Structure 1
Amino acid sequence: MGFVPVGYSLVLATIILGPLLGSGYLLLRDAVSTPRSYATDAALGLGDAAPRAVPQDGLLAALSVIVDGGIVVKVILLLASTAAGWGAARLARELLGVSLAPQLVAATVAIWNPYVAERLLQGHWSLLTGYAALPWTVLIAHRLRLRSTVFRTGPPPGRDSGAAVGERSAAAVIGTRHRSIRPAYSWLMLGGVLAAAGLTPTGSLLAGLVAILTVGRRNLLGTIGVWLLAASPWLVATALSGSGTEPSDPAGVAAFAARAEPGLGTLASLAGLGGIWNGDSVPGSRTTLFAVVATLVLLGVALSGVYTVGASGDRATRRTRRTLLILAAVSIVLPALGATGWGLSAGEYLIGRIPGAGLLRDTQKFVALAMPALALCAAAGCRTLATLRPRGDREPAPSPRPGQTASEPSEPDGRQPLVAIVFIAALILTLPDLAWGVGGALRPVHYPPAWQRVAAMVEGPGDVAVLPAGMFREFPYSGRVPVLDPAPRMLRSDVLQTGVLPVRGQVVTGEGVRAQRVENLLLRGASPAELAAEGVGWILVEHRTPGALGNSKTTVGQLEPIFSDPYLTLYRVPGVREVAKASAMDRVTALAAHALWAALLFAGAVAALIDRRRRP
């Protein structure tokens, strides 16, 4: 029955992503997919801005040579959503020994929750790969921990207590299971999972932290080394570009702080896996007092199994599960504290002084760390409630089979499927608008043909400056919400972006110093020669979208358009001067880091296939 959790997770993922799976491209807030992407300096993380989309953009640039980039993004998103549920089911099976019904409850918690809905609406599709990798990271790290326990320390010596006998029995079973699997396969799988999580830096941090906390002391140095290799694309890009050497704008702390939902404080919102900073990226059901009901249901399902998760099992398994419980509590409490007055002050102090700390400003992202524990608790609660009997109608618990451990499914109680159906129905019905593209918001977009024509023309020296000013657009074909400008991923030349973010009525400054200079020149109507001196070889004007134009008509009025239609106008700036950009050695180094990341991903997948075939 091992295929059932996979199929169930795929069905849930398809119900959520259904509208997006048609023809067209994902273009929603921070999510931008295009027919073809290019390995520009910005895509490799070597531009002015911090490498927030590395190695994501490099991967799309490589794969879109073979497959349409829109299809690549949809496939990754569907696989990640499925993997989240499947991983949670496997985690419940291995760490709790539950049967199929509780496994499906764990899968539902992992896929059908406010965190997934809000990150989809915000356009953080690649972050969800890091989210999906968390249960798999725990599974592989736990395997390494068990292996080192059995093969290095052996079973507990010299005691005849029931606990000691149980631990020796567990050690014997674990040894039998893993004796035919080489240790290198587990390390390769860990590297592959960390690489998959590392599609974005935040996902890499999430999975890396989980691995370090659950792998055990004996494997700690090795795990850190594997994580550094898996994170090499954005770590190398940060070192080469120097974008991480300057502190971020402290205004981002308040702008990206977690937000309380109606009827709930910030702490309760986060405990229910909600509370994203952008109130517009929230399903409709979470914008009313119905959010209280949904949160109570999720927490009630999880709390029903907390005691079981922390109490039973062999020593190594108990440690792993308790670590996950503590991590869940910390990942909820710290972002809640970060949204208080003194928490905001502390965050502004740190981010304004420590380079690279801006990666932590969206604190609600880290609530993802609570998902493995919540899934385990829900599965344990399903089993616990199914075994409850009236006081005078209790039957003695069946004796465990010889050598049975927490990682082996127990004999299912006949009422477990019924309890599982109640749990699953409650979770889905209290977040109904996650279905079908989060209430229809997640739908494919079709670009006007002008984009393809401009993409074919932009080639040669010089970067691209865009108008109107700013990084976000509201096109008629993209819907009524702001979307990131698709130009940087559509064109083969680097597109200058300031990194300035309008958030909650505030403006958070970015790292694009040269891009800001060029934008200021355009808004004051500077001459084309001044732009050429800044390395600008092209000006792209995007029509039918709001935004500041300033006196840019004075600049473009001195140029002849080489393409123009109702959507786009492209100008060539003559006499462009080469400016200081990434060196050839920097590009080779960045590409080597991407190749290493891809090799880890591939090797991990191969090792997983061999592991599955050789597992007794």
Structure 2
Amino acid sequence: MARAGGLTAESVLLGLVAGVLVVAPWTRSGHLLLLDWVSGPHQALTPGLYGLDPAALDALPYRLATHGIRTLFGAGATSWLMVLAYFPIVAGGVSALAGGSRWRRHPAALFACLNPFVVERIQAGHVPFLLAVALLGPMAASALHARRRGRWFAARPAGWYALAISVGAHAAWLGAAVLVAIALLPRPRWPDVVRTAVVIVSAGCVYAYAAVVVANAILTVRVGDLDLEVYATYPGSAGLAATVATLRGFWRGAADSSPEAALGLAPGVVLVVAAVVGLARLCRSEPVTGVPMVAVTVTGLLLGAGIDGPLGTVYRIAFDALPLFEAMREQQKWVALAMIGYAVGIGATVEAVMTRLRPSRSLLRQAVAVASAPALIGMYATVGASLVWGLGGSVRVSHYPPAWYAADRLMGAGDESVLFLPWHQYQPFTFTAARTVATPAGAFFRRPVLSSDAAELGPVRSNSASRRMAYLDELIARGGGGGFGRLIAPLGVRYVVLARDRESDTYAWLGRQRDLAPVLRTAELDLYRVTVDGTGRVVSARDGDLADALGWAGGGHLGTEAVLSGAGDGVVPSAASGGARRDGSTRWQVAAGAPGWVVLPEEWSANWTAGDQVTRPTVAGTVAVRAGSGAFTVRYTPWKWLRLGLAVSLFSLTALLVAGVLEHRREWLRRRPAGSGRPGGDGGS
């Protein structure tokens, strides 16, 4: 066990070195901005923690941990530290899973760090997903260790699995596939089946807060059959089979932010052949490791091919029938399983090659080994060139323009929001060298930011169920309607920011809005102040829809009154507003005042309650309360239950991790000299 632990530690160090070579250029002053991974000077805890952001309700323990790291080290450092973390974790886990000598462990660990799948996912900024995948390595190693011991329960695989799904929901399906393969192959036994079932159920407790989300009908993103088409695995120029077999196929294909990994024919063939030969060798010599890894690899390749692959019909049925399988709408994520299997197989192949290079071997075998060694080295070098030193030098840290800082100083801090334009979830900027990234305004400005959540992917323009976003989509598409400030005031918007990197002419209508006052005009950014109000005690209401509101605002006949569908009373246009104060993320205090309607700039949900007073959605998608003259409090009621669910989740995760540490300590104290029962085997990750 001690020797196995030392070899695993060496692999961890190897992974750390590889990771440092990747992130080194990103440690400089600036911010790392990738497709789905952005950072900024004022990055805050997501409202999803409180159940208020439909797109950020998953992996809440991870989001909390990331916020803590960001608080300690700063947003800029956190952005590359989280990328760096993948490499030593996956290297150590795959090393323990592969077992064997240094010549098996270290090449396996290195391949898990340097492969086309990792290149594409870092380019895409899928950092949490990669971290979750990295944790599947030690999970699989500990599950194999438990199988060899024939135990009815093992805390370590449960702890690793719980940690993985706490980081990324996709790991629930990926990890379950690995655990089931290890339990059933090569021959299932009752302890293996029972242990695996207990591991999966106990780890699932870390998603206790999800029960609150379902029970309270908290708004989540909408996923449908069209998503399977949009997020289908990209076949590439070589065809779907070759692309998936070489661990590529990210759905964006050759888009600007996701170029394919530079992998020619020869390195691709070497990669596949080395993996196949190594896995076949393990199936003969160590079937307890080899057979499950073959099953995991084949599963990853078949499901990773997605709806256009051999199991396309099965995938569609699973997507429609299995609970929570919507998380796997991006089918190529299954290739993560093949990546782990390939790493183990390639490690076994390298070990065999090095063994045959010994002088005692036959000349023919030595000749084969001599020919194989340069091919394997070339494969590593080819993939590594696309990854090390900031994705082969293609991605550097970005520096926000001076105008962004000037705008932030002028706006200052506050609860009133900033509307950011252009209205896209993903867009290129001059300061990102024209690379498309997720709009980073929310990470940059101190005030809350409203920016588009529409991915704009052909038939799937948006997965959002937000009424506010749909309202803004329509307003912006119609060019503001002449009274844009009045129409966005019920959303609590005080400022409008337009980045002028592109499309500035498209938004020329901003300068013609009578209720927007220019505050800052530069070549990089324009800043406008909304001169009207629309929240708090607005007293009156009108019965109308969006078209009516546009007409009233355009003609100058819309005041602060709430625009409701099917309800209206009071004198209009109204000039009343104010009297409402945010008292935390899930509560508002409304001061005493004139009876009538109160508008709060929160996404509409029936879970916003004010005692026995009636609440209704406004046309803008915000919350309206029919109130008396007295002071009262409006609360988001699911928070108290979500807080309890999150506490249960964190307690479950902590308990499993502590149990795993104690289990490992007990084995270490026994000092079993035979280790795992095979040469160089792991001592249980």
Regarding TM over 0.5, the answer is: yes
Following superposition, the deviation at residue 146 of structure 1 comes to 3.6
2:398 aligns to what?
Answer: 445
1:228 aligns to what?
Answer: 204
Aligned partner of residue 60 in structure 1, secondary structure: helix
CA separation of 1:342 and 1:139: change in aligned 2, threshold 3 A: closer
1:297 aligns to what?
Answer: 270
- The aligned runs of 1:313-462 (5 Å cut-off) are 313=286, 318-319=287-288, 321-336=290-305, 338-339=307-308, 343=312, 357-388=325-356, 422=374, 425-431=377-383, 432-451=385-404, 457=411, 459-462=413-416
Q: Distance in 2 between matches of 1:84 and 1:141?
A: 16
Q: Distance in 1 between matches of 2:69 and 2:209?
A: 17
Following superposition, the deviation at residue 116 of structure 1 comes to 0.3
Q: Distance in 1 between matches of 2:258 and 2:499?
A: 31
Higher mean alpha-carbon deviation, 425-434 vs 550-559, is at 550-559
Q: Distance in 2 between matches of 1:590 and 1:418?
A: 60
CA separation of 1:236 and 1:342: change in aligned 2, threshold 3 A: same
Q: Deviations over 1:218-241 (max 9, x none)?
A: 123322223322344566556656
1:523 aligns to what?
Answer: 477
Higher mean alpha-carbon deviation, 330-339 vs 598-607, is at 598-607
The equivalent position to 2:146 in structure 1, one of 144, 147, 171, is 144
- 1:203 aligned onto 2:187: no
The equivalent position to 2:112 in structure 1, one of 110, 130, 144, is 110
CA separation of 1:355 and 1:223: change in aligned 2, threshold 3 A: closer
Aligned partner of residue 76 in structure 1, secondary structure: helix
Aligned partner of residue 465 in structure 1, secondary structure: strand
Counterpart amino acid of 1:142? Answer: L
- 1:474 aligned onto 2:428: yes
- TM-score (ref. length: structure 1): 0.77
Kindly report the root-mean-square deviation, in angstroms, between the aligned alpha carbons of the 2 structures. Answer: 3.9
Counterpart amino acid of 2:75? Answer: G
2:250 aligns to what?
Answer: 276
Following superposition, the deviation at residue 495 of structure 1 comes to 3.6
Q: Distance in 1 between matches of 2:159 and 2:311?
A: 38
Q: Distance in 2 between matches of 1:393 and 1:60?
A: 52
- The aligned runs of 1:231-250 (5 Å cut-off) are 231-232=207-208, 236-237=212-213, 240=216, 242-244=218-220, 247-250=222-225
Give the share of equivalent positions with the same residue, in percent.
22
Larger radius of gyration: 2
Runs of 5+ consecutive residues of structure 1 not aligned to the other structure:
153-182, 396-412
Following superposition, the deviation at residue 480 of structure 1 comes to 1.7
1:311 aligns to what?
Answer: 284
CA separation of 1:447 and 1:608: change in aligned 2, threshold 3 A: farther
CA separation of 1:139 and 1:389: change in aligned 2, threshold 3 A: closer
The equivalent position to 1:558 in structure 2, one of 491, 515, 522, is 515
CA separation of 1:143 and 1:64: change in aligned 2, threshold 3 A: same
User: Structure 1 or 2: larger strand share?
Assistant: 2
Following superposition, the deviation at residue 188 of structure 1 comes to 5.8
CA separation of 1:285 and 1:335: change in aligned 2, threshold 3 A: closer
The equivalent position to 1:510 in structure 2, one of 457, 463, 469, is 463
Q: Deviations over 1:32-69 (max 9, x none)?
A: 12233223424555324464675554433343333302
Higher mean alpha-carbon deviation, 229-238 vs 522-531, is at 229-238
Q: Distance in 2 between matches of 1:604 and 1:417?
A: 45
Q: Distance in 1 between matches of 2:235 and 2:446?
A: 42
Higher mean alpha-carbon deviation, 111-120 vs 264-273, is at 264-273
Following superposition, the deviation at residue 271 of structure 1 comes to 1.5
1:403 aligns to what?
Answer: none
Contact 1:382/1:419 (<8 A) preserved: no
Q: Distance in 2 between matches of 1:227 and 1:606?
A: 13
Aligned partner of residue 127 in structure 2, secondary structure: coil
CA separation of 1:568 and 1:353: change in aligned 2, threshold 3 A: farther
Contact 1:542/1:567 (<8 A) preserved: yes
Following superposition, the deviation at residue 108 of structure 1 comes to 1.8
Q: Deviations over 1:177-227 (max 9, x none)?
A: xxxxxx7xx526632553245323223432344335435311233222233
2:20 aligns to what?
Answer: 14
Higher mean alpha-carbon deviation, 449-458 vs 369-378, is at 449-458
Q: Distance in 2 between matches of 1:493 and 1:240?
A: 29
1:405 aligns to what?
Answer: none
Runs of 5+ consecutive residues of structure 2 not aligned to the other structure:
1-5, 184-191, 536-598, 609-634, 672-685
Q: Distance in 2 between matches of 1:193 and 1:415?
A: 43
Counterpart amino acid of 1:569? Answer: L
Aligned partner of residue 131 in structure 1, secondary structure: helix
Higher mean alpha-carbon deviation, 415-424 vs 587-596, is at 415-424
Contact 1:465/1:536 (<8 A) preserved: yes
Contact 1:29/1:483 (<8 A) preserved: yes
1:587 aligns to what?
Answer: 639
Q: Distance in 1 between matches of 2:525 and 2:397?
A: 19
Following superposition, the deviation at residue 335 of structure 1 comes to 3.0
CA separation of 1:21 and 1:125: change in aligned 2, threshold 3 A: same
CA separation of 1:347 and 1:394: change in aligned 2, threshold 3 A: closer
Q: Distance in 2 between matches of 1:341 and 1:52?
A: 30
CA separation of 1:59 and 1:365: change in aligned 2, threshold 3 A: same
Counterpart amino acid of 1:567? Answer: L
2:534 aligns to what?
Answer: 575
Counterpart amino acid of 1:8? Answer: L
Counterpart amino acid of 1:587? Answer: W
Aligned partner of residue 226 in structure 1, secondary structure: helix
CA separation of 1:342 and 1:285: change in aligned 2, threshold 3 A: closer
Contact 2:417/2:493 (<8 A) preserved: yes
Following superposition, the deviation at residue 252 of structure 1 comes to 2.5
Q: Distance in 1 between matches of 2:255 and 2:101?
A: 36
The number of equivalent residue pairs is 551
Counterpart amino acid of 2:330? Answer: D
Contact 2:42/2:446 (<8 A) preserved: no
Following superposition, the deviation at residue 4 of structure 1 comes to 2.1
Contact 1:137/1:194 (<8 A) preserved: no
Q: Distance in 1 between matches of 2:122 and 2:499?
A: 26
Following superposition, the deviation at residue 138 of structure 1 comes to 0.4
CA separation of 1:109 and 1:600: change in aligned 2, threshold 3 A: farther
Q: Distance in 2 between matches of 1:326 and 1:450?
A: 54
Q: Distance in 2 between matches of 1:223 and 1:548?
A: 57
Counterpart amino acid of 2:113? Answer: I
2:182 aligns to what?
Answer: 214
2:236 aligns to what?
Answer: 261
CA separation of 1:564 and 1:60: change in aligned 2, threshold 3 A: farther
- 1:71 aligned onto 2:77: yes
Counterpart amino acid of 1:267? Answer: A
Q: Distance in 2 between matches of 1:452 and 1:498?
A: 21
CA separation of 1:539 and 1:202: change in aligned 2, threshold 3 A: farther
Following superposition, the deviation at residue 429 of structure 1 comes to 2.4
Q: Distance in 1 between matches of 2:367 and 2:158?
A: 36
Following superposition, the deviation at residue 562 of structure 1 comes to 5.6
1:540 aligns to what?
Answer: 497
2:419 aligns to what?
Answer: 465
The equivalent position to 1:194 in structure 2, one of 162, 176, 183, is 162
Following superposition, the deviation at residue 103 of structure 1 comes to 0.8
Contact 1:195/1:600 (<8 A) preserved: no
- TM-score (ref. length: structure 2): 0.70
Aligned partner of residue 560 in structure 1, secondary structure: strand
Q: Distance in 2 between matches of 1:594 and 1:18?
A: 35
Higher mean alpha-carbon deviation, 357-366 vs 266-275, is at 357-366
